[in-house]
């Protein structure tokens, strides 16, 4: 069939098909030597469907060409899919954090707008309310700078750990008791993490990866990381959240990785991959942790700290 008919049948454009031909991703079944018109066979729709699926998942055309070039090692393909899932989850976390800040701003503006007869001056909103919004804005860059300092001050061959903490059923707290109580819970969890780090005597930085997620970057080995995770979880379980307005008992999950990051790129990588171990902790049940060793991707070798 002609390129226009093939494009219409598969709900793509002829321009896209020409581009896929040019890059060697989807060659036409035949090209008329006199007119140059491309023609395709119906069964080529199967390959096109896979191109569209993988492209929609964020794979580059070069990656897709390699994947569809012939049989691929299933472990390699799974690793690539996991890498994509981590990238998507990381971006989703940041967007959700921004959404939480927007929700908080809408709540404050509705309250202040009502008090000021539908007009509001942002500079006249209470500083405490502004601080509540600011603390929900992503602070990952500041956290990365502190993590890089911890690495730079460590000894050669010294292991580093990333612990990612997710508060159980935090959305229900906001829904049932309001943002103010939710903020109190966030602050309490932060204080518990900070106190546990002090008790462990680990050198560590604390960051926010999500509205209800914290990330800890610590100079620690696997055993010390497990002890820190267990300490945080037990303290959260025993904390009197009713005293700060939340009558519900709270819990958390912690997923962690221990490795030898040396560059900012390494640090970003180990933080992103900690999403996977957090999922492992959730699978174990309430108030569980999962700490695993992490081997830095070889592609990061030779990168400097300015990466």
Which pLDDT score is estimated for 230? 97
Give which of 61, 127, 133 is closest to 103, Cα–Cα.
133
Identify the domain containing residue 63 by its residue range: 3-67
Which pLDDT score is estimated for 119? 65
Q: Give the domain CATH number at 47.
A: 1.10.1660.10
Which pLDDT score is estimated for 73? 84
85-131 tens-digit pLDDT: 766 766 665 666 677 677 778 877 777 655 555 566 666 767 666 66
Q: Are residues 151 and 272 in the same domain?
A: yes
Between the alpha carbon of residue 295 and those of residues 121, 126, 158, 264, 283, the distances in Å are 51, 47, 14, 15, 23
Distance CA 166, CA 160 (A): 20
Q: Are residues 154 and 104 in the same domain?
A: no
Q: Are residues 253 and 225 in the same domain?
A: yes
Of 132-136, 219-223, 288-292, which range is least confident? 132-136
Choose the final residue of a domain: 50, 67, 84.
67
Q: Tell me how crowded residue 278 is: count the other CB atoms within 10 A of its CB.
A: 24
Has residue 307 been placed in a domain?
A: no
Q: Are residues 214 and 264 in the same domain?
A: yes
Has residue 284 been placed in a domain?
A: yes
Percent of the chain with pLDDT over 70: 82
Q: Which residues is 257 bridged to in the sheet?
A: 162, 292
Distance CA 29, CA 13 (A): 17
Give the dihedral sign, CA 76/77/78/82. Answer: positive
Q: Name the residue with higher pLDDT: 72 or 121.
A: 72
pLDDT at 208 > cutoff 70: yes
The set of residues, in sequence order, having a beta carbon less than 8 Å from that of 275 and lying 6+ positions away, is 86, 89, 90, 164, 255
Q: Give the domain CATH number at 199.
A: 3.30.70.270
Q: Name the residue with higher pLDDT: 104 or 192.
A: 192
pLDDT at 147 > cutoff 80: yes
* String of DSSP letters for 252-268: EEEEEEEE---SHHHHH
User: How far apart are the two ends of the chain, measured CA to CA in Å?
Assistant: 49
Q: Name the residue with higher pLDDT: 139 or 42.
A: 42
pLDDT at 302 > cutoff 50: no
For residues 212-217, give the mean pLDDT.
90
Q: In what order do the strands lie in the sheet with 160-167?
A: 204-210, 213-218, 160-167, 252-259, 289-293
User: Going by DSSP bridges, is the β-strand pair 289-293/252-259 parallel, antiparallel, or unpaired?
Assistant: parallel
pLDDT at 304 > cutoff 50: no
Which pLDDT score is estimated for 298? 60
Beta strands in the chain (DSSP E): 30-31, 38-39, 160-167, 204-210, 213-218, 252-259, 289-293
For residues 29-55, give the mean pLDDT.
92
Give the dihedral sign, CA 138/193/201/234. Answer: negative
Q: Are residues 150 and 284 in the same domain?
A: yes
Q: Are residues 172 and 86 in the same domain?
A: no
Q: What is the pTM of this model?
A: 0.60
For the chain, how many structural domains are there in total?
Answer: 3
């Amino acid at each position: 069939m002609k390129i226009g008919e093939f494009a219409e049948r598969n709900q793509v454009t002829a321009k896209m098909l020409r581009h896929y031909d040019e890059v060697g991703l989807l060659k036409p079944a035949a090209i008329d030597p006199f007119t140059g018109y491309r023609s395709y066979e119906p069964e080529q729709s199967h390959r096109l469907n896979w191109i569209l699926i993988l492209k929609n998942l964020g794979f580059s055309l070069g990656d897709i060409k390699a994947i569809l070039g012939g049989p691929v090692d299933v472990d390699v393909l799974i690793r690539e899919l996991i890498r994509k899932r981590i990238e998507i989850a990381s971006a989703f976390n940041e967007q959700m954090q921004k959404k939480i800040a927007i929700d908080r701003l809408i709540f404050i503006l509705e309250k202040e707008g009502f008090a000021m007869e539908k007009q509001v001056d942002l500079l006249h909103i209470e500083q405490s309310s502004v601080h509540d919004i600011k603390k929900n804005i992503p602070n990952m860059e500041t956290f990365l700078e502190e993590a890089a300092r911890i690495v730079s001050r460590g000894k050669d061959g010294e292991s580093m750990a990333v612990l990612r903490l997710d508060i159980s059923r935090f959305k229900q707290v906001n829904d049932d008791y309001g943002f103010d109580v939710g903020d109190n819970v966030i602050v309490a969890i932060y204080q518990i993490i900070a106190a546990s780090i002090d008790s462990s005597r680990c050198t560590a930085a604390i960051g926010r990866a999500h509205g209800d997620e914290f990330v800890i970057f610590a100079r620690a080995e696997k055993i010390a990381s497990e002890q820190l995770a267990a300490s945080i979880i037990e303290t959260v379980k025993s904390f009197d959240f009713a005293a700060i307005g939340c009558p519900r008992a709270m819990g958390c999950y912690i997923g962690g990785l221990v490795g030898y990051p040396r560059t900012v790129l390494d640090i970003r990588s180990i933080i992103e991959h900690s999403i996977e171990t957090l999922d492992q902790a959730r699978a174990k049940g309430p108030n569980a942790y999962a700490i695993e060793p992490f081997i830095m991707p070889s592609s990061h070798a030779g990168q400097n700290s300015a990466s």
